[in-house]
Amino acid sequence: MVNYFGNPDRVFAALGDPTRRRIVERLARGSLTVGEIAAGFSMSAPAITKHVKVLERSGVLVRDIVGRVHHCRLQPRAMRAAGSWIQAQERFWNAALDRLEDVLAKDSKRKRKL
């Protein structure tokens, strides 16, 4: 398994697909085997396996193999890396919009004085 905990790009790319987002939502309730994941979708097991591999390469999930059974569970650190990036953007834009609001309020006061 390759870990990309510091790189949210792979997480966002992996979560760009609705099937993979549904897999993550199901795994949020607890670990599942690849067969259990596949049972919830109307697509072939090989197609689900491809989605699982994308999520695994992105670091979103970890797959433990016991015999022939592949157990999947979420890896929260990868999601946290993406969440941290989103929070940083939110802070940036909130601060920028607050500054814009201040500028507009000062401009409005100035115009009222005229």
Number of domains in the chain: 1
Site of tokens 């999520």: 55
Residue 68 domain flag: yes
**What is the domain range of residue 55?**
8-113
Residue 1 domain flag: no
Residue 63 domain flag: yes
Looking up residue 52, the CATH number of its domain turns out to be 1.10.10.10
42-74 pLDDT per residue, tens = 999 999 999 999 999 999 999 999 999 999 999
Residue 3 domain flag: no
Residue 2 domain flag: no
7-51 pLDDT per residue, tens = 788 899 999 999 999 999 999 999 999 999 999 899 999 999 999
Residue 21 domain flag: yes
Residue 67 domain flag: yes
Q: What confidence score (pLDDT) does residue 63 get? A: 95
Residue 90 domain flag: yes
